[in-house]
Structure 1
Amino acid sequence: MHGLQALSDLPGLDEAEQYCWQQFLECSLNLVAAVDVCLREAHDLSIRDVLLLELLSRPNRRGHRLSALAETLRVSQGQLSTQIRRLEGQGWVTRSPTRGDPRGILPRITGEGHSRLHAAMETYARGVRMHYLDQLEHEQMVDLADSCRRINGSLGTVGARPD
């Protein structure tokens, strides 16, 4: 990815730090794009669609509020609403009003959405294995997971992007 090479002169980072960051950034963007291509070609679903459907498939007594879903997916509520409307149009998600808040909606995955998700998760897993896991020895995988856990822990909860 040649466009990211412009990041090789970040003030305050030494050469090794710049290289480490550049490789991480390029790798993470490429991995997400590669898995996204697998999902789009096989199921006409984006990786964000699969992540949303997977979240909606989890049991939640009070329903899945848009604000919590948007924060989890790191998107704005507007972006999420657009995505939900599109998935609703395909019959994979329904929306119902929230109790006590006539403006709020609770998205729910449909039976067809569950079927699409199940098939897509197999493709998702194959893509993750092919583009990510198969490139690493077991020890490297464990070390990378631990590094990512530590980085995520230091970030805390980063909110969704505003509309």
Structure 2
Amino acid sequence: MLPAQQETPWLTPAEMRAWRGYMDGNQRLMEVLNRELQDSHDLSLADYRILVMLSEAPDGSTRMSDLADGVLSSRSRLTHQIRRMESQGIVERTTCAEDGRGVLAQITDEGRRRLAAAAPTHVAGVRKNLVDLLTPNELEVLADVFSKVDAAIGDR
């Protein structure tokens, strides 16, 4: 055995069950939510998430760097995605008036319309495929668990 293998604290059966259950369940959930938005509204789940963040900004716009951080995307991946979304007329890029160097992504009226149309589909999918399957206590535990995971990884 290699030294790293001897020192590795392998997962117990209970830990493995939890890990695999999370991986499989998360992948299936994201796939079904994405498919519902694609099929009904021609939006990806990633597009939807960006539109939500922009719609929640006071003036409907956010610096691209902040948006990338907010949707947990690389700046280059976000740039390509915003370019695709611009071609659909649902966002636009502008120069930041504050410093002239930053680039803002801004939701358009068409983006707001598409988001409003897609939101009921998305919420119904989240409810059907996650929320309604769990008890209130399980939902609280789920929120606590992933808040801990996010905080721990985000601090690195």
TM-score per shorter chain, which class?
A: 0.7 to 0.9
After superposition, give the CA deviation of every residue in 1:74-95 in whole Å (9 maximum; x if it has no partner).
1111111111111111111111
Pairs within 5 Å for 1:9-158 = 12-60=10-58, 63-99=61-97, 100-102=99-101, 104-157=102-155
After superposition, give the CA deviation of every residue in 1:101-131 in whole Å (9 maximum; x if it has no partner).
34x3211001111010011111110000111
Task: Output the CA distance in 1 between the equivalents of 2:67 and 2:123.
Answer: 22
Structure 1 segments of 4+ aligned residues over 6 angstroms from their partners: none
Task: Output the CA distance in 1 between the equivalents of 2:33 and 2:44.
Answer: 9
Q: 1:62 to 1:94 in 2, by over 3 A?
A: closer
Q: Taking structure 2 as the reference length, what is the TM-score of the superposition? A: 0.85
Task: Output the CA distance in 2 between the equivalents of 1:25 and 1:126.
Answer: 22
What is the identity, as a one-letter code, of the residue corresponding to 2:66? A
Report deviation, 1:66.
1.1
Report deviation, 1:63.
4.4
The answer to which of 23-32 and 134-143 deviates more is: 134-143
Q: Please state whether the residue corresponding to 1:64 is helix, strand or coil.
A: strand
What is the identity, as a one-letter code, of the residue corresponding to 2:121? T
Task: Output the CA distance in 1 between the equivalents of 2:26 and 2:86.
Answer: 29
Q: Taking structure 1 as the reference length, what is the TM-score of the superposition? A: 0.81
Task: Output the CA distance in 1 between the equivalents of 2:59 and 2:108.
Answer: 16
Task: Output the CA distance in 2 between the equivalents of 1:140 and 1:25.
Answer: 18
Task: Output the CA distance in 2 between the equivalents of 1:157 and 1:54.
Answer: 25
Q: Unpaired runs of 5+ in structure 1?
A: 1-9, 159-163
